[in-house]
C-alpha cells in the first residue's frame, strides 16, 4: 500500500510509539509485506528467523522488536515491542474500515457503456472501465480496479480479505488476522465466471492479467499475480503470493501451492497438485505434479505391479 504522500519516519514513530534507529527525517512511501516490498517501503518482522530476510530486502525501513541487529546501509529501524500491532496501527490509519450504506458507492467510478445489473454491490473507491458487463449478485469491494471490456458473472466476489494471519502460540488468541490494505486489479479483456472469489492483496495488489479467462468456482488467494492470456478451469485453487506467468493453463480442480512461480506456457492437467515452481512450456500431472509423460510412465508400471508380483511369486 502506498501512502497518499511520503511520511517522515519520526511521524510514523510517533504514531506507533517506536524508537527510531537511523535517520528519523527519512521519508517512507508505503508499507508492504515482505514478498512485495520496494524501496521506500516499511516492512515488519517479529521473529529472529526472519530478521535477515527483512533487513536484506528492498524495504528501506524495518519495524522490529530488536535494536541490536546490524542495520544495512541506507536503512533505518522502528523498534517496538509488538511489530505486528504496529503494522495494524499503520494500516488502520491509512486505510480505515469504511462501511458502505448503499449498493453502489458514490465514490465508485464506472466507465461509459458498462452495464451493472441488479443486486450488484460496488464498494468505496472502486474503478470500473468501459464496455464491461457486471452480472447480478456480484460483489466488488473497496479499492478494486477493473479494466475495460471485462465480464464478471453472477455470484463472484472481488476483493475479499486475505486469508493471512499472524500466529503466536504464547497468547490466548493464537491467530490474529492482518489488516488487508491491498486491492485487486483486473486488467482489460478478462472474463470471470460465476461464484469465483479473488482476495485482495495483504498490502499490495492481486492481479489478473489482460485477456485471461476464469471458469466458475475458482479461488484466487491474496497477492497472486496472473499473467496475460491464462486459462483457469473450474474448482482451481491458487494459494497466496503465487505468480502465474503468461499463457498458463490450469485444468479443473488443480491446486497450486503458495509463493511459487508457474512458468509461462505451463499446462497443469486436471486434479494436479502443483507444489513447486514449474519450467516453461511443459505439461504437468499428478500430486505432486511432475512432467506428464513421466507420470504416465509411472502409471503404466504401477498398473503392471499385480502381473509382476504373480510372476515373481509364481
Residues recognised as catalytic: 222
Reported as type and span, the H/E element at residue 258 is none
Query: Based on the number of CB atoms within 10 Å of its own CB, is 195 exposed (0-12), middle (13-18) or buried (19 or more)?
Result: middle
Q: Answer for the pair 301, 309: CB distance below 8 angstroms, yes or no.
A: no
DSSP states of 88-126 as a string?
HHHHHHHS------SSB-TT-EE-TT-EE-TT-EE-TT-
Nearest to 204 by CA among 182, 178, 227: 182
Sheet holding 61-64, edge to edge: 2-8, 27-31, 41-45, 61-64, 76-79, 19-21
Measured from the Cβ of residue 261, the count of other Cβ atoms closer than 10 Å reads 14
Q: Name the 3-class secondary structure at 293.
A: helix
Burial class (CB in 10 A: 0-12, 13-18, 19+), 80: buried
Nearest to 136 by CA among 158, 159, 155, 113: 155
Say how far apart CA 118 and CA 174 lie, in whole Å. Answer: 41
Looking at the DSSP bridge assignments, the partners of residue 177 are 165
- Cβ contacts of 271 within 8 Å, gap of 6 or more: 252, 253, 254, 287
Q: Cβ contacts of residue 86 below 8 Å, gap of 6+?
A: 16, 18, 44, 63, 78, 80
Amino acid at each position: 500500500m502506498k501512502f497518499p504522500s511520503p511520511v517522515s519516519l519520526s511521524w510514523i514513530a510517533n504514531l506507533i510509539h517506536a524508537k527510531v534507529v537511523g535517520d528519523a527525517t527519512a521519508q517512507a512511501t508505503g508499507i508492504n509485506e515482505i514478498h512485495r516490498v520496494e524501496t521506500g517501503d516499511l516492512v515488519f518482522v517479529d521473529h529472529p528467523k526472519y530478521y535477515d530476510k527483512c533487513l536484506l530486502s528492498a524495504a528501506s525501513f524495518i519495524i522490529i522488536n530488536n535494536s541490536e541487529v546490524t542495520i544495512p546501509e541506507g536503512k533505518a529501524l522502528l523498534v517496538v515491542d509488538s511489530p505486528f500491532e504496529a503494522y495494524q496501527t499503520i494500516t488502520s490509519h491509512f486505510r480505515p474500515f469504511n462501511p458502505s450504506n448503499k449498493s453502489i458507492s458514490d465514490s465508485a467510478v464506472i466507465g461509459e457503456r458498462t452495464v451493472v445489473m441488479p443486486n450488484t454491490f460496488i464498494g468505496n473507491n472502486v474503478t470500473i472501465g468501459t464496455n464491461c458487463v457486471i452480472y447480478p449478485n456480484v460483489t466488488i469491494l473497496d479499492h478494486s480496479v477493473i479494466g475495460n471490456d471485462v465480464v464478471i458473472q453472477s455470484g463472484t466476489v472481488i476483493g475479499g480479505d486475505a486469508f493471512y494471519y499472524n500466529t503466536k502460540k504464547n497468547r490466548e488468541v493464537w491467530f490474529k488476522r492482518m489488516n488487508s490494505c491491498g486491492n485487486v486489479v483486473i486488467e482489460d479483456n478478462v472474463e470471470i465466471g460465476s461464484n469465483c472469489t479473488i482476495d485482495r492483496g495483504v498490502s499490495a495488489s492481486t492481479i489478473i492479467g489482460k485477456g485471461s479467462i476464469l471458469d466458475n468456482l475458482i479461488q484466487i488467494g491474496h497477492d497472486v499475480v496472473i499473467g496475460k492470456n491464462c486459462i483457469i478451469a473450474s474448482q482451481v485453487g491458487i494459494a497466496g503470493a503465487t505468480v502465474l506467468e503468461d499463457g498458463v493453463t490450469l485444468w479443473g480442480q488443480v491446486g497450486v501451492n503458495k509463493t511459487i512461480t508457474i512458468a509461462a506456457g505451463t499446462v497443469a492437467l486436471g486434479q494436479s497438485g502443483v507444489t513447486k515452481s514449474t519450467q516453461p512450456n511443459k505439461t504437468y500431472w499428478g500430486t505432486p505434479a511432475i512432467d506428464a509423460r513421466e507420470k504416465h510412465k509411472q502409471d503404466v508400471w504401477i498398473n503392471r505391479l499385480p502381473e509382476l508380483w504373480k510372476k515373481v511369486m509364481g
